Amino acid sequence: MKFRSYFVASMFCMLAVSSESSFMHAADKNATEPGPADKDAPKEFTATKSGLKYRILRQSKDVKPTEKDTVKVNYKGWLDSGKEFDSSYGKGGEPIEFPLNGVIAGWTEGMQLVGKGGMIELEIPYQLGYGASGSGPIPPKATLHFIVELLDVTPPPKPLEPGPVDKDAPEEFTTTKSGLKYRIRRKSDGKKPTAANTVKVHYKGWFDDGKEFDSSYQRGQSIGFPLNGVIKGWTEGMQLVGEGGMIELEVPFDLAYGERGRPGIPPKSTLHFIVELLEVK
């Protein structure tokens, strides 16, 4: 189970380097093994247009999730060699909950094919997983296999909007020695965090072309994380604003996900963020 914290966190293409965000959390105590499959469950896989392969091991007529829903699941995953790299089953295991639009593409697509209470087996090609480069313990071009039981489906909360901006907020960005660009959108005399603090924030992020890739506002739920456990541009930038304030960041690729990028983040991507600092701990 020591791999689980990495795998679950890395399913999200957000900010965390090694820690789990508050919108993804362990749920109830877990079963020790997957539940029963249907006696007439298909032996063959069905392939979708994207290349995902799946088979429904336990049918359910209950609600199927959309990509905007949060799902609660039990799962186990293995490589082509049969080596298991992660499992929520067994001693010490717990189900997990996560927004379905915040994980690898194979999961986002695949989990919409099964109803609540059902069980699905997924065979995810590397293009829908961790790509040609892999990620951490996931080898390059790795096909990933999963058995997943869908325990619950929760509709998304009503989206929120960022708070007000100061009327005299600067239009120009300031550039730090590292190359980070920022501008304070709402001043605050509140406590400024250090890299050793944990912060609670609302944020949204987009690429140079304006395409949004993540937003806690859309999920309707803020997140908390240790400031020394995220991309360098956040670690530096969030120390420039006080509790209750708002900052806009333009993070060059070398302070974000580097030359390789990561699932959902193209190589050498400049990332843009609006962040409201809600709390410093």
Encode pLDDT of 109-151 as tens digits. 999 999 999 999 999 999 999 999 888 778 999 999 999 999 9
Whether 164 is covered by a domain: the verdict is no
Hey, which residues does 25 pair with through a beta bridge?
97
Looking at the fold, whether 148 and 203 belong to one and the same domain comes out as: no
pTM here is: 0.60
Looking at the fold, whether 141 and 179 belong to one and the same domain comes out as: no
pLDDT of residue 227: 95
Looking at the fold, whether 127 and 214 belong to one and the same domain comes out as: no
Whether 161 is covered by a domain: the verdict is no
Looking at the fold, whether 8 and 144 belong to one and the same domain comes out as: yes
The whole-angstrom distance between residue 270's C-alpha and the CA centroid of its chain comes to 18
Whether 163 is covered by a domain: the verdict is no
Looking at the fold, whether 134 and 191 belong to one and the same domain comes out as: no
Structure tokens of 16?
A: 């965390």
Whether 239 is covered by a domain: the verdict is yes
Whether 122 is covered by a domain: the verdict is yes
Is it the case that residue 2 has pLDDT exceeding 60? no
More confident residue, 223 or 136: 223
Q: By the 8 A CB rule, do 151 and 82 touch?
A: no
Looking at the fold, whether 76 and 112 belong to one and the same domain comes out as: yes
- pLDDT (tens digit per residue) in 154-204: 998 888 999 999 999 999 999 999 999 999 999 999 999 999 999 999 999
Whether 251 is covered by a domain: the verdict is yes
Looking at the fold, whether 128 and 182 belong to one and the same domain comes out as: no
Tell me how many degrees the CA angle 220-204-189 measures, rounded to the nearest 5: 90
Looking at the fold, whether 14 and 148 belong to one and the same domain comes out as: yes
Phi, psi of 273 (to 5 degrees): -140, 145
Q: How far is residue 25's CA from residue 3's CA, in Å, rounded to a whole number?
A: 16
Which residue is listed with tokens 């072309």? 209
Q: How far is residue 218's CA from residue 222's CA, in Å, rounded to a whole number?
A: 10
User: CATH no. for residue 53?
Assistant: 3.10.50.40
Q: How far is residue 239's CA from residue 196's CA, in Å, rounded to a whole number?
A: 10
Looking at the fold, whether 207 and 147 belong to one and the same domain comes out as: no
Looking at the fold, whether 276 and 203 belong to one and the same domain comes out as: yes
Looking at the fold, whether 194 and 236 belong to one and the same domain comes out as: yes
Looking at the fold, whether 48 and 121 belong to one and the same domain comes out as: yes
Q: How far is residue 150's CA from residue 133's CA, in Å, rounded to a whole number?
A: 29
Whether 75 is covered by a domain: the verdict is yes
Region for 179 from its dihedrals, namely left if φ exceeds 0, alpha if ψ lies in -120 to 50, beta otherwise: left
Whether 159 is covered by a domain: the verdict is no
Hey, which residues does 135 pair with through a beta bridge?
138
Q: How many CB atoms lie within 10 A of CB 158?
A: 7
Is it the case that residue 14 has pLDDT exceeding 80? no
> 97 lies in which domain range?
4-154
| Confidence category of residue 238, pLDDT binned at 50, 70, 90 | very high
Is it the case that residue 211 has pLDDT exceeding 60? yes
Calculate mean pLDDT across residues 7-21.
40
Residue where one domain finishes, among candidates 89, 120, 154 = 154
pLDDT of residue 16: 40
Count of structural domains within the chain: 2
